[in-house]
Amino acid sequence: MVRIHPSILSADFVNLERDLEKIATADGVHVDIMDAHFVPNLTFGLPMVQRIAEVTELPLDVHLMIDDPDTWAHQYAIDGVESVTFHAEATRDAVAIARELRARGTRAAIAVKPGTAVEQVLEHLPEFDMVLVMTVEPGFGGQAFMPEMMPKLRLLRGRADDLGIELALQVDGGITDDTLPIAAAAGADVFVAGSAVYGHPDPAGRIVALRESGMLSPGSLER
């Protein structure tokens, strides 16, 4: 299955409710939380996530690009939030965070930057519901897709299959009609798209087109 999660980082923050309505055909909303420490950009925090959850029926996919997720991640496990993603590079105890999120009824996800190996995630893979492989450096939208990240996806998908666990594999960064099939063929099934959706005059149509591009990829057909 191909799931499209548009990133509201590319939306109009002043007219956010309007822009959320434009992506009603999506499978979820990707909400980037940046603290200007872990990444050199600043977005918003929990109050905005709470408000977004009140004005959309789409499940929220919260991506924490923040320091100290051990302290803050569980606070985002609120009604309307389907999953909370925290970074492997920022945590002291990834397993403890994942277990706390699951205990609060939220899917637990862990993210890795381009320069981070996935071995530390592979060691505890059953503890997570999703792994996010960044296909750009986190912190800014509109960057170019990094195809050299595909071996990480293949390794993660292979290990999940060997363990017999259901694991979502998400990619974030540079997703377009051309790059989405590449990531899907490597094992990804959840795709974050920002400018590829909101940079188009018909965001809803773009979501459909992106989803169809992944369904036609060799990797999706095999699965």
Alpha-carbon dihedral sign for residues 31, 101, 190, 117: positive
| pLDDT value, residue 143 | 78
- Residues 77-102, mean pLDDT to the nearest whole number: 98
| pLDDT value, residue 221 | 38
The residues that are catalytic are 32, 172
SS3 call for 27: coil
Model-level pTM? 0.94
pLDDT digits 0-9 by tens, 104-126: 999 999 999 999 999 989 999 99
- Residues 186-191, mean pLDDT to the nearest whole number: 98
| pLDDT value, residue 96 | 98
Decide if pLDDT at 220 tops 70.
no
